[in-house]
Structure 1
Amino acid sequence: MFNLYFISQSTCSILLLLNFALKNVACNPVVRTKSGCLKGSIDRNIDGGKFYQFMGIPYAEPPVGDLRFKAPKPKHPWKGIRNATEEGSACPHRREKRFNQSVPLVGDEDCLFLNVYTAELPRNSATMKLKPVLVYIHGGGYVFGNGGRAKYGPKNLMTEDIVLVTLNYRLGILGYLSFSDPTLEIPGNAGLKDQRLALRWVQDNIRRFGGDPNRVTIDGESAGGSSVHFHVISPSCRGLFHGAIIQSGSTLNSWPWGKLDGAISVVNKIGVKAKTQKEALDVLKSLSAYELVRVLEQMGITECSNDWQDISPVIEYPHEGAFLTKSPIDILNAGEQNQVPLILGYNSKEGHWMNYQQMAAKAMGTWVAPFSWECIIPWQTGIKKGTAKSKRFADTLERTYQTETPEENVVNAWSDSIYDVGIEQAIKFHLKTHLAPIYAYRISVITRLNYLKRSLNLWDKPGVFHSDELGYLFSQSITPKVSPGSPEDIYRRRIVKLWTNFVKYKNPTPDDELNVLWQPVESVDPIKQLDIGENLTFVDTPEARRFVVWNELLEESPFIIN
């Protein structure tokens, strides 16, 4: 056996020709990108159809040494053929249970990798009909997660005629450290800039995998959803995509935002006094990647909407290469966003995730901010906790959420405050100036495929939890066996069809195959949402009725992000 990694570029060309000559023979596919050749592998979708997969593709130089905390640099070309049959390292994090110290830390700072899945490789990209592309950005609160197959497997989506890309980006302090001092050259948003560089990689290379760079849709859930919305409002991302799906997150939620110079507060909270930005940076530079993960953990957990994160995306000072230098509200009011078709929405009971985190954190002895009715007032309103106005707002909200059991009332309040209201506000602001269609949804379907319900074994709790829809879009390590024609199979294919129709046509229902016409939003009173449940229908939702109260409060104290 010889090592494919070190063979010459000319041998790469020979193997490319052999791929085409032996197209019916099971062999490792080889693709030449602008950075070098890749050897992939073959897998099968849920229907048994063949697709090619190329994993662990580096799209940036390792963000270590002088590049730590800074904007990523494109990957230098390599010689020979790189093995792309295994996933690259995740970025450092404590998996999904960041409050659970018994879960090991994983990942490596050299983590800027992406994965490409495609059913067809071009013999000649100039004559092949190129396929639309879906680029998926994982969630995880900007502190955990990765784009790997355990949670974002391609077997469901690869039943449709698209190319799928998933990716990693830097998390936590490594991804979102920011300083206002330009001499430190760390203005923030490195993790978002990682995603932007991955999108540029797609523009430069996706033809080699049969994908059309002129038909790219970006999608993400939770922090991935708010990331997608950041790309929609960022002028620096113009031309990198042509449609966007925003699941359970937006830039008008409270939790995606960090504080410029928040590192000083972080360092002081862990017991190291830093008087200047430079002193805070020196402290954080001296720590290992895993120590940086633990630093954020030491600060405890807050899910309160009126708490502003110390480390997360920020509005940067103007400079070359900046990701965002203006408030999203200012951008939307001026119509300066990327004018692409949008899908935005949420699940029926997003707040069960926060309720679970609170209970689990307390059981682990981790500090957690307690729920209160003042806690759910978003910080963007500028209303200070403890003031007369805050208490008046809190009393109004408490009266609004008294329709179910005490636990479910709190869950509904979490759902709206942390996710639903910010998404509804994003739709309202987009409608003022957006020139492309906007589709709104709410997911209420419940089967054994609901991801978080299955992960936490909380089948006794009503509604669809945060991230539950991922079990329909993606094949996962916890996916149960699904029989053809079962409810799970029907709903899985239905959601995949809606999403991939949008990827292909920028319209989730271009025909009557699904027996519904998903119409774009035209008015905010109320916002017309497609309920994706056992049926596809437009219904009057409990959230819509609660939004009336929120909108009255927000007219008095509108969102401000600056």
Structure 2
Amino acid sequence: MLKFLIIFNFLLIVNCQIINTQYGPILGAQRTSALNRNYFSFQRIPYMKPPIGTLRFRDPVPPSNWTEVLNCTAQGFRFPQIDLTLTPQGGVFEGDLDSMHINVYTNNLNPQSKYPVMVWIHGGGFRTGSGLTDIYGPDYFMERDIVLVTFNYRLYTFGFLSLDDPELGIPGNAGFKDQVLALKWVKENIENFGGDSKNITIFGQSSGGGCAHYHILSPLSKDLFQRSIIMSGSAFNPMYAAIPRRNWAYRLAKMLNYTGTENEREILAFLEEADPQHIFDAVGNILTPHERNVERLINAFGPVIEPYDNGNAFMLQHPEELAQNSWGNDIDIMIGATSFENGMVLPVLLLGGSEVLEAFTNFSTFIPYPLNRSNEEREKLAEMLKRTYFGFVEPSPTNFDGSILLSSEFAFWHVIDRVVKQRVFSRGLGKTYVYRFDADSDNNCFRTLYRVDPRWHRHHRAIHMDDLCYLFKTSFANVPANNTNSFNLIQHMLSIFTTFSSTGNPGITNWKPSTNAQETLFGHNIRETRALDSIEILPEHKRIFVWEEIYRSSALSFNVNFIYIILLFSLAISSFFV
């Protein structure tokens, strides 16, 4: 009795709350958001056993039950990684393997009607990132009647090591399977937090957007959520696409001074004991110059087509094959990107001058290596890319924006076009809404963080991640003052995302889902004020044809020259190119 009174009095003093989960009771805290809204916060909730020892690379295992109240009033650690953001901690290794945690935030634990649930999947190129509040503070979302969930998952080698030997039980994609286990936890526990287990939306940005797409393709994720929001990423994106199967594990072990043979059992035993920091230090150096510069591989460890089915397979086919008959074709999605995605590399281009520009204007490298084009075809297509993005002007340090648009549309907008076309042709029941974030305000905090030169803002306003500043409270940006353009845009973005998550419709008049394969990039162009917003065929649409030609499966010879002539004529009489 005395113990109960002590706990009860403690809860009264610190405004805490106990919630039961399937694994045991947890203690959360009541907090006040940056907008002075009270909400409940439950952080560092275990959803799987720590991936330690023989669990380091294997499929996730649910946590053990507990009986004592678990203190979940403070956030935990991030998963081991090298922080790549341009903050004072940039480039520093940090994290803990015991970080497989979920965080739940809501302004009401007992609403009259269960709240829609939004599950955030963080980005970071499968190498970095977390569900922590330094970037993904819940403050803005707490203005709306939803339950917000964030979480960590395994990264890089730990999340995506894949071995051929079925006896070892490491087919790959453990990081995706962590996410599946987290989604199962949400479905089974979220009603205890006032959430609706039958109204769950997943959303993510960059590689997190890739994850939000992968999950609507994988049969392992079926029925764990009802909608998906895919932001600046996709399973079709060359940066987040399935990685070819090679002796990556052996190469990594060799970098760590392994002296044995290519015996997978021995390599696994070695890597299970390796220091996590040493793994992160070494893994970025195992790509060959050909793999990096010609094949344009970014990671050696990432999404992979699993070599066998262990009964828990996430991906046994290429994503584009999975998409053809995916269960996700029948659910609603919202997909989009920013207007100047790769603008974050502008400082690098400006400092690097002609040498860096040469790397960005080697147009043949933008023709994906797996397409197996002949040298003659590659030359013709490279010339098309050059004329499309630079017109009759030669690339130089004074017109970097052509390079930025080219790389942005290669990696993001053409991929969005392909996703929409795939869903149109699938004839599934799901609706597809396309947005473009083109706002220019003081709250474009990543543009500020990456020191993008203001002289490039005139035509291209938002870079990669800038849209996140209007959904999450970041640690490096102040809350905009009431009734400013920035503040009003936060409210507008929250309305779009939460309305779609609740109903499957963004709630904007005349914003219709894409149903026409010829107008895949029809959608909502989001600007800094509602007066400047538009519903239209988005500007990137007029350059998509060159990427369609590159990806065309049939021989190119019959129409490349014709299209090239039309392109030159168009360039001569229009001003659409940069």
Q: TM (normalized to structure 1)?
A: 0.87
Supply the distance in 2 between the matched residues of 1:136 and 1:312 (Cα, whole angstroms).
Answer: 19
Code of the aligned partner of 1:453: R
- Tell me by how many angstroms 1:310 deviates: 2.1
- Are residues 1:160 and 2:148 paired? no
- Are residues 1:501 and 2:499 paired? yes
Per-residue deviation, residues 187-231 of structure 1 (Å, max 9, x unmatched): 110111111100000011101100011000000000000001110
Q: Greater shift after overlay, 202-211 or 103-112?
A: 103-112
Q: Secondary structure at the match of 1:40?
A: strand
Query: Which residue is equivalent to 1:35?
Result: 23
Contact 1:138–1:146 at 8 Å: present in 2 too?
yes
- Are residues 1:396 and 2:396 paired? no
Q: Secondary structure at the match of 1:39?
A: strand
Q: Greater shift after overlay, 159-168 or 347-356?
A: 347-356
- Are residues 1:327 and 2:314 paired? no
Query: Which residue is equivalent to 1:307?
Result: 296
For residues 172 and 431 of structure 1, do their structure 2 counterparts lie closer, same or farther at Cα, with a shift above 3 Å needed? same
Q: Secondary structure at the match of 2:495?
A: helix
Q: Percent identity?
A: 29
Query: Which residue is equivalent to 1:298?
Result: 285
- Tell me by how many angstroms 1:170 deviates: 0.7
For residues 28 and 484 of structure 1, do their structure 2 counterparts lie closer, same or farther at Cα, with a shift above 3 Å needed? same
Please point out which of 250, 254, 267 is paired with 1:264: 250
- Tell me by how many angstroms 1:43 deviates: 1.7
- Tell me by how many angstroms 1:401 deviates: 1.0
- Are residues 1:195 and 2:183 paired? no
For residues 175 and 442 of structure 1, do their structure 2 counterparts lie closer, same or farther at Cα, with a shift above 3 Å needed? same
Code of the aligned partner of 1:289: P
Supply the distance in 1 between the matched residues of 2:218 and 2:333 (Cα, whole angstroms).
Answer: 15
Code of the aligned partner of 2:204: G
- Tell me by how many angstroms 1:477 deviates: 0.4
Supply the distance in 1 between the matched residues of 2:28 and 2:418 (Cα, whole angstroms).
Answer: 43
Code of the aligned partner of 1:225: G
Aligned runs of 1:415-434 on 2, under 5 Å?
415-433=408-426, 434=428
For residues 503 and 101 of structure 1, do their structure 2 counterparts lie closer, same or farther at Cα, with a shift above 3 Å needed? closer
Supply the distance in 1 between the matched residues of 2:23 and 2:69 (Cα, whole angstroms).
Answer: 10
List gaps (5 residues or longer) in structure 2: 556-578
Contact 1:202–1:213 at 8 Å: present in 2 too?
yes
Code of the aligned partner of 1:48: N
- Which structure has more helix as a fraction of its residues? 2
Paired residues in the alignment total: 531
Contact 2:160–2:303 at 8 Å: present in 1 too?
yes
For residues 75 and 350 of structure 1, do their structure 2 counterparts lie closer, same or farther at Cα, with a shift above 3 Å needed? same
Query: Which residue is equivalent to 1:178?
Result: 162
Supply the distance in 2 between the matched residues of 1:15 and 1:525 (Cα, whole angstroms).
Answer: 63
Query: Which residue is equivalent to 1:465?
Result: 463
Code of the aligned partner of 1:297: G
Query: Which residue is equivalent to 2:45?
Result: 57
Q: Secondary structure at the match of 2:243?
A: coil
For residues 54 and 551 of structure 1, do their structure 2 counterparts lie closer, same or farther at Cα, with a shift above 3 Å needed? same
Supply the distance in 1 between the matched residues of 2:440 and 2:80 (Cα, whole angstroms).
Answer: 33
- Are residues 1:449 and 2:433 paired? no
Q: Secondary structure at the match of 2:284?
A: helix
Per-residue deviation, residues 302-354 of structure 1 (Å, max 9, x unmatched): 88684234210111122201111122222222344352110011111111234
Supply the distance in 1 between the matched residues of 2:474 and 2:90 (Cα, whole angstroms).
Answer: 23
Code of the aligned partner of 1:295: A
For residues 109 and 409 of structure 1, do their structure 2 counterparts lie closer, same or farther at Cα, with a shift above 3 Å needed? same
Supply the distance in 2 between the matched residues of 1:470 and 1:557 (Cα, whole angstroms).
Answer: 39
- Tell me by how many angstroms 1:98 deviates: 9.5
Query: Which residue is equivalent to 2:566?
Result: none
Please point out which of 67, 83, 103 is paired with 2:55: 67
- Tell me by how many angstroms 1:52 deviates: 0.2
Q: Greater shift after overlay, 210-219 or 537-546?
A: 537-546
Supply the distance in 2 between the matched residues of 1:541 and 1:348 (Cα, whole angstroms).
Answer: 10
- Tell me by how many angstroms 1:267 deviates: 4.3
Supply the distance in 2 between the matched residues of 1:551 and 1:182 (Cα, whole angstroms).
Answer: 39
Q: Secondary structure at the match of 2:545?
A: helix
Supply the distance in 2 between the matched residues of 1:533 and 1:215 (Cα, whole angstroms).
Answer: 29
- Tell me by how many angstroms 1:371 deviates: 5.4
For residues 139 and 208 of structure 1, do their structure 2 counterparts lie closer, same or farther at Cα, with a shift above 3 Å needed? same
Contact 2:499–2:505 at 8 Å: present in 1 too?
yes
- Tell me by how many angstroms 1:397 deviates: 1.1
Supply the distance in 2 between the matched residues of 1:83 and 1:448 (Cα, whole angstroms).
Answer: 38
- Tell me by how many angstroms 1:184 deviates: 1.9
For residues 101 and 220 of structure 1, do their structure 2 counterparts lie closer, same or farther at Cα, with a shift above 3 Å needed? closer
For residues 80 and 498 of structure 1, do their structure 2 counterparts lie closer, same or farther at Cα, with a shift above 3 Å needed? same
Aligned runs of 1:319-398 on 2, under 5 Å?
319-337=310-328, 339-356=330-347, 372-383=362-373, 387-398=375-386
Per-residue deviation, residues 476-515 of structure 1 (Å, max 9, x unmatched): 1012241110011011110111000011111111xxxx6x
Code of the aligned partner of 2:536: V
Query: Which residue is equivalent to 1:543?
Result: 540
Supply the distance in 2 between the matched residues of 1:297 and 1:444 (Cα, whole angstroms).
Answer: 33
Q: Secondary structure at the match of 2:365?
A: coil
Contact 2:473–2:479 at 8 Å: present in 1 too?
no
Code of the aligned partner of 2:125: G
Supply the distance in 1 between the matched residues of 2:412 and 2:510 (Cα, whole angstroms).
Answer: 26
- Tell me by how many angstroms 1:114 deviates: 1.1
Contact 2:77–2:96 at 8 Å: present in 1 too?
yes
Q: Greater shift after overlay, 399-408 or 273-282?
A: 273-282
- Tell me by how many angstroms 1:271 deviates: 7.2
Please point out which of 492, 516, 520 is paired with 1:523: 516
Q: Greater shift after overlay, 442-451 or 157-166?
A: 442-451
Query: Which residue is equivalent to 2:235?
Result: 251
Query: Which residue is equivalent to 2:526?
Result: 532
Code of the aligned partner of 1:349: F
- Tell me by how many angstroms 1:286 deviates: 3.5
Supply the distance in 2 between the matched residues of 1:263 and 1:117 (Cα, whole angstroms).
Answer: 38
Aligned runs of 1:231-246 on 2, under 5 Å?
231-246=215-230
Contact 2:114–2:195 at 8 Å: present in 1 too?
yes
Code of the aligned partner of 2:341: E
Q: Greater shift after overlay, 496-505 or 453-462?
A: 453-462
Contact 2:440–2:527 at 8 Å: present in 1 too?
yes
Per-residue deviation, residues 1-27 of structure 1 (Å, max 9, x unmatched): x9xxxx7xxx599859x97xx7xx861
Please point out which of 91, 102, 107 is paired with 2:79: 91
Over the residues paired in the alignment, what is the CA RMSD in angstroms?
Answer: 3.1
Query: Which residue is equivalent to 1:479?
Result: 477
Supply the distance in 1 between the matched residues of 2:42 and 2:277 (Cα, whole angstroms).
Answer: 28
Q: Secondary structure at the match of 1:152?
A: coil
- Tell me by how many angstroms 1:423 deviates: 1.9
For residues 319 and 82 of structure 1, do their structure 2 counterparts lie closer, same or farther at Cα, with a shift above 3 Å needed? same
For residues 326 and 289 of structure 1, do their structure 2 counterparts lie closer, same or farther at Cα, with a shift above 3 Å needed? same
Supply the distance in 2 between the matched residues of 1:506 and 1:536 (Cα, whole angstroms).
Answer: 21
Contact 1:189–1:323 at 8 Å: present in 2 too?
yes
Please point out which of 191, 209, 213 is paired with 1:225: 209
- Are residues 1:141 and 2:138 paired? no
Q: TM (normalized to structure 2)?
A: 0.85
- Tell me by how many angstroms 1:465 deviates: 0.6
- Tell me by how many angstroms 1:449 deviates: 1.4
Per-residue deviation, residues 73-95 of structure 1 (Å, max 9, x unmatched): 11111121111111111101111
